[in-house]
Amino acid sequence: MNYDENNIFAKILRGEIPCKKIYEDEFVLSFHDINPQKKIHALVIPKGKFTDLDDFSLNASSDEIVGLIKGINLVAKKLGISTEVGKGYRALANISDHGGQEVPHLHFHLFGGERVGKMVE
Residues 6+ apart with CB under 8 A from 19: 12, 29, 31, 32
Interface with ligand AMP in residues 102-121 (CB under 6 A): 102-103
How many of the chain's residues bind ligand AMP (CB under 6 A)?
13
Q: Which of 100, 117, 119, 121 binds ligand AMP (CB under 6 A)?
A: 100
Q: Which stretch binds ligand AMP (CB under 6 A): 32-40, 45-53, 64-72, 81-89?
A: 32-40
Tell me: does residue 10 bind ligand AMP (CB under 6 A).
no
Tell me: does residue 34 bind ligand AMP (CB under 6 A).
yes
User: For the chain, how are helix, strand and coil distributed in percent, rounded to 5?
Assistant: 30, 20, 50
Q: Give the separation between CA 79 and CA 76, rounded to whole angstroms.
A: 5
Q: Which of 3, 4, 7, 8 binds ligand AMP (CB under 6 A)?
A: 8
Q: Give the separation between CA 90 and CA 92, rounded to whole angstroms.
A: 6
**Taking the complex as a whole, how short is the minimal distance between the CB of residue 92 and ligand AMP, in angstroms?**
8
Residues 6+ apart with CB under 8 A from 2: 51
Q: Is 98 a catalytic residue?
A: no
